[in-house]
Amino acid sequence: MRIKTRFVLYITAWTLTLATLLGWLAHKQWTDYAQSRRAVGDVERAQLALKVFEMVSRERGPANAIMGAASPAPAVQATALTDARAHSDAAIHALLTNLQALDDDDANRAAMINALLQLQDDLQTGRRKVNAVAALPAAQRPGETIDDAVSTMISVASLASPLVARISGAAERRGNTLNDLLVAARAAAELREQAGQLGSQFTRALIRQEPLTRQTVESIERIVGHIDIMRMLVNNRVARCCADDATITGAVAQMNQHYFGDGQALVNQVLVTWHADVVPQMTTGEFAARYVPTMNPILDVRDALLLQASKQAITAQAEARERLIWLALLTALMALLLIVPLCVFGYRLLNALTTSANIIKALAAGRLDTPVPVPVRSDEIGDVLSAIAVLRDNSRARQVLQVEREALIAELHEAATTDFLTGALNRRAFQTTAAITVTQTSRRHGVCSVALLDLDHFKRVNDTWGHDVGDAVIRAISQHCRLTLRSSDLFARYGGEEFIFLLADANAENTRDILERIRLAIAEATLATVDDQPIRLTVSVGFAVLDHQCDTLEKLVLAADRHLYEAKQQGRNLVVGLPTGLAS
């Protein structure tokens, strides 16, 4: 297939791939934008649902007050109840309108609408029961009828709670922080509802001026436990997502001060009075006037959380919209700057590519005398041809440099593994090679030995004649050792005036024989001459042979070092090794 054909196919494939990639990115960004836009609506719907929850809960306050008032009820209380019912109806209507306009799954939307309509019907039933109680003379209001009215109003809020959970659930799935905010807001609304239910438990007893029933006391204990759970949930979620938000934490502090301080103090005061078999001398309206305001900070917490959730959802929507716009601009820019130039300059580039490829193949085959055309234009193609010419010249130069490089590598390896003074192996190279040898020898149950050689009283040489003479002595010692050792043995300068040996295939007897010859040769040799004075030194040697106790290089070195120390202790100029304590 011709290059031009392949190029056309490549451009087509590349364009389709780019279009697919950009399409996928655009779809993803559009999905993110649609979800963030939906999240704003979900948060708004959750706010409306929580408003319904609040209003039907708030309505119980004036309803309880009207059931405890004289008949006919005072105008102030009647007006308060009328306003509360109007607010509940308005909240229900707003949520119903929002749900009916929701572009959502028919079954899900229908279920939420039906639940809201059922709540509305139950609310009307509860209102009729409240009106029936309020219509009776105050002294003739049966306790069971009052309890039924209160329970019916509470059940309306009980219907609102799962509806709120279902509606806010969509928004709660939009992210961790948004989830924390909405769950905390829902918990605050539930907390306010439970606080309202707690106050409602006193309605019958206050109206009839009678002791609390056992059932009422049990209900109070259950509600107090639920309040504690909701409070803990609010605090935990706020601590996780909003600990640095002064508005939210301030609202929580106000809630703790007013409701969990003043409100619960009032409840405890009333309970203590009843427990003392004394009926509190107050009406339901008076109790509500003191108790209901302490619950308002709970709603302030809810509203602060919802406001932050709304801000976050709106910010996420704006960011998603901005990313979508930038992606559209990037797509247009890539199409303008990449696809069009590729088509325009493709033909010329193909011709240059063919010429360059032929020259490069010749150079790769070693034909470094291949001529390179002189560029006729000062453009990228000319630069490529010039670069190829440079490549050819560099290839010629590399042939020369390769030989020098190999020689340099050999020198560097020699420097890395050789002691600079003696030419013997250095400590690191010895340890690397010897460790492998010892391991292999141990595995095949062979024998070898390690010896440490140290110059006796070498410090006197440096102190008397200087370090240059000391270096000459060390070089001479190294030379004598090499002359005696076999080609299979390893020999290295271990440090200072100390040398180390690895004697291959040498048992204790062989090792002692080799080391004794080295010791005698050094003792009899003139290691250096200063002012016609010969310098002679002796050496002490310790060795250890590979066995089941000394089966690694480290153990052999330690054992040899111990024997070297014994040789020093026994008077120097000795070879000490196995068996322990034996010296020549």
Could you give the maximum distance between any two Cα atoms of the chain, in Å? 140
Position 546 scores a pLDDT of: 93
Cα–Cα distance for residue pair 577/584, rounded to 1 Å: 9
> What residues form DSSP beta bridges with 450?
502, 544
Fold assignment, 427-583 = Alpha-Beta Plaits (3.30.70)
pLDDT at position 361 is: 74
**Tens-digit pLDDT profile for residues 1-17:** 666 677 677 778 867 88
Distance CA 458, CA 307 (A): 86
Digit-coded pLDDT (tens) for 383-428 = 776 777 777 677 666 766 665 666 566 566 555 678 888 888 889 9
Per-domain boundaries in the chain: 30-329, 427-583
At 451 the pLDDT is: 95
Write down the H helix ranges in 418-493: 427-443, 458-465, 467-484
DSSP for 169-234, written as a single string: HHHHTT-HHHHHHHHHHHHHHHHHHHHHHHHHTTHHHHHHT-PPPHHHHHHHHHHHHHHHHHHHHH
Cβ-in-10-Å burial (0-12, 13-18, 19+) of 546 comes to buried
CB atoms within 10 A of CB 215: 10
Of 390, 405, 501, 502, nearest to 446 (Cα)?
A: 502
| Amino acid sitting at position 484 | T
Task: Report which DSSP code applies to 245.
Answer: -
In the prediction, which pLDDT does 522 show? 92
Q: What stretches of 331-475 adopt beta strand conformation (E)?
A: 448-455
Angle at 113 between CA 108 and CA 117, to 5 degrees: 150
Q: Is 231 in contact with 191 (CB distance < 8 Å)? A: yes
12 vs 21: CA distance, rounded Å: 14
Helix, strand, coil percentages, rounded to 5, for the chain: 75, 5, 20
* CA 313, 314, 319, 324 torsion-angle sign: positive
pLDDT given for residue 580 in this prediction: 39
Which pLDDT belongs to residue 583?
36
- Return d(Cα 470, Cα 463) in angstroms, integer: 9
Give, in degrees to the nearest 5, the angle at Cα 334 between 332 and 338.
Answer: 130
Q: Give the pLDDT score at 412.
A: 60
Nearby residues of 11 by Cβ (< 8 Å), 6 or more positions away: 339, 342, 343, 346
- Helix (H) / strand (E) containing 157: helix 143-172
Cα(116)–Cα(121) distance, integer angstroms = 9
Structure tokens at 171: 């928004």
Residue-level pLDDT at 336: 73
Nearest C-alpha neighbor of 565 from the set 576, 579, 551: 576
Number of H helices, E strands in the chain: 18, 8
Per the prediction, the chain carries an average pLDDT of 82
Q: How far is CA 301 from the centre of its chain?
A: 31
- Tell me the C-alpha distance between 347 and 352, whole Å: 9
Residues of the chain scoring pLDDT < 70: 1-4, 7, 14, 35, 104-106, 171-172, 174-175, 276, 337-353, 357, 363, 366, 368, 376-382, 385, 392, 395-397, 399-416, 578-584
Q: What are phi and psi of 378, to 5 degrees?
A: -95, 65
User: Which pLDDT score, from 0 to 100, does residue 512 have?
Assistant: 94
Task: Count the alpha carbons within 13 Å of 80 in the hemisphere toward its beta carbon.
Answer: 19
CA neighbor of 176 nearest in space, from 234, 235, 239, 241: 241
pLDDT score recorded for residue 330: 82
Tokens of 224: 């107090």
**Residue 86 is which amino acid?**
A
pTM: 0.51
